[in-house]
Structure 1
């Protein structure tokens, strides 16, 4: 089930984020305040995916940007990432926005999801992410606004 995130979900979302970070390296650098990281400035809305009463996925919309999208390793392959992304797309479309996102070039599973759902890669750039670390990032855009369901 995909639903809007509630304030009471934040502890479960932080636990999910820790699991994803340990397994997959997302986010790239662990935030000092993970709950705050999941609630960035400019947050428009956020969603969670639930399975058997547990939070197993998260996504956010900040302006026109898809952000903080992750799914628990054990819950992957069940379409939850796509369903979360479609919820964000629908909210963006309802606001007259075409959503965008950025992803590390090494995150091939996420890239495959975005491209399977029709997102188009617009640019690729190298970004400095602190301490002299340079990361290649792809920028994607939803190819067409989808109507809300």
Structure 2
């Protein structure tokens, strides 16, 4: 498996993988009207994908970094889970900058919360989002900072 910078040509495969994730995990909670644009927020600094080698055109995982050093749009396709790919994607981002990183995760993402906390991320606060969770209420979002 290779982790490399995402290019515009990767977006269709990223959207396909994201659809698989959304069907299993409901991430994102609401399917975006333009998923390629959702994967490319306005403040995007850089994004990476994981793909099997030599099978180009298949995305197994994705992560992005915003200009204000927030990890976002992190997901691993269901078929690629259990082998440490999420940790490798985060390590790739951390290797790109030695500054502290941050991320947000919905309280509904219990597996993600356990993963981040096992990995040393520290929760620094929580608040309500402007989007709705599965129960139709403003989502509770936890804010984390990277380990030193």
Shared fold (TM-score, shorter chain, > 0.5) = yes
Q: Are 2:75 and 1:70 equivalent residues in the alignment?
A: yes
Displacement of 1:130: 5.5
Q: Deviations over 1:34-55 (max 9, x none)?
A: 0011111111100001125221
The answer to whether the 8 A contact 2:13-2:59 is kept is yes
Runs of 4+ in 1 over 3 A off after TM superposition: none
Structure 2 residue 132 is matched with structure 1 residue 138: no
Aligned partner of 2:36 in structure 1 is 35
What root-mean-square deviation, in Å, do the aligned CA atoms of Structure 1 and Structure 2 show? 1.6
Match status 1:84 vs 2:89: yes
CA distance in 2 between partners of 1:73 and 1:113 (Å): 16
SS of 1:60's partner is strand
Aligned residues: 141
Q: Residues 1-149 of structure 1 correspond to what in structure 2 (within 5 A)?
A: 1-52=2-53, 53=55, 54-63=58-67, 64-93=69-98, 97-129=99-131, 133-144=137-148
Once residues 13 and 36 of structure 2 are traced to their aligned partners in structure 1, the CA distance between those partners, rounded to angstroms, is 10
Q: Structure 2-normalised TM-score?
A: 0.89
Structure 1: gaps (5+ residues): 145-149
- Give unmatched runs, 5+ long, in structure 2: none
What is the CA–CA distance in structure 2 between the aligned matches of 1:142 and 1:66, rounded to whole Å? 10
Alignment check: 8 A CA contact 2:132 2:139 kept:
no
1:8 is displaced (CA, Å) by 1.0
Q: Hey, what's the Cα distance between the residues in 2 that align with 1:57 and 1:9? A: 12
The CA deviation at 1:114 is: 1.0
